[in-house]
Structure 1
Amino acid sequence: MKPGTLITGAGGAIGSAVSRSLAGEDEVLFLHYHRSRENAERVKKQCEERGSEVYLIEADLSAAGGASSLAAQLHGPIGRIVYNCGSASYGLFQDIEERELYELANLHLLNAMWLVHELLPAMISRKQGSVVLISSIWGDRGAALETAYSAMKGGMNTFVKALAKETAPSGIRVNAVAPGMVDSPMMQEFTEDEQRKLAEEVPAGRFARPGEIAEAVRFLMDPAASYINGHILDVNGAW
């Protein structure tokens, strides 16, 4: 089996768009999901229609050990990783519960790091591989009422920059895409009026489409981007 592509959160808005973008003839895709089995099944079918060999994997990446559980289910080599997992968490930092803090840390940072840790040795052995993590504009700037989330994404950004320095001599590239506001189910936390006001704050005047984030991922995965390494690519409409 040729090295495949692992996409986490493949049932979500961004994950499904990334999956379809990377699907193609003779591509092997491992699509991860947790709760969105129905969505993942639909994305699987769409990718298969584009000629890909597709496998579904379920794992809870908000739990300790989630990455190890996922990695243990892979039955083929992985050459590309797209770590795309997220959950909304709004409120004052002083009000966050310890359980939620650790779930955010597992989902956005710790399991991302450990999943790469588990799959990296084989990539290094082949002297080829690409990792793209989905970060956030808040990982660079920080956001009030999303302090913990911002901290995890900030840690992810630093992880990308540091790991790229280690893996570049082995032909492995590690990058991230940092979206701003994206038109996704996560925005349903806000009323229509709140969404309209948020969109007005963006110089582009609108939220990103999931497909636009997917195209940024596809670009970073492409051999044409072979000299881009350790980079956080902002996709935020100049926000």
Structure 2
Amino acid sequence: MRTGGRTATFTLDDVIAAGVRIGLVELSMQSVADALGVTTAAIYRHVRSRSALESLVGEAILAELHLVDDPAEPLVPHLVGFAGQLRRFTLERPGCARYMQRLFPRGQSGIRLLEHQITALGRRGYDPAAATVLSSAIATTAIGATVAEQDRAALLGSPAVDEALAAMAGSELLRQATAGIPQHTPEDYFVFVLTATAEGLVAKLPPGGPIPESRAAL
């Protein structure tokens, strides 16, 4: 913001705070500059690139995520609960799931979350390496499912959805298949998929067991 011929001062913290308010979907050097009432050149004096800005804002957003672990909770419910916490947090913060999907961890907030989950699995009999493999597999599945859910929600009411439904309606087999699927919510489906995923992963990588050595097993 310019007043009296002078440029208002701002800090890197102001840049990050503006970015968090804007959100990761609409984040850009220009949007932050507009929010602060300055030029993009002024933003570049604090942040070297759009990618660096995304990392700063993404880590600030992830700092708000505090995973909850009940040590008495059995392994599979714990893993599904961990996935559910990721889903709920990222659904409320558009762009966050895709941020995590592209590269994770990028900074201290991501490292803190990964360390938390490694510690939680350590209480359930996993060494750090196995805990990293297991938690990463669950997180990858959860985040991927959440990104897909957000993309589908963004298409609701669009011609693309009407075209897809019309195409399905033209298949007798698909009509029979969909008629046999019980009513369910996106969360119901998420829990179903993540429960099956967790059960399969635990069967392949049980507490105290070695990490499978073959590429096919991984």
TM bucket (normalised to shorter chain) is: 0.3 to 0.5
TM-score by length of 2: 0.34
Q: Which has the larger radius of gyration?
A: 2
More strand by share: 1
TM-score by length of 1: 0.32
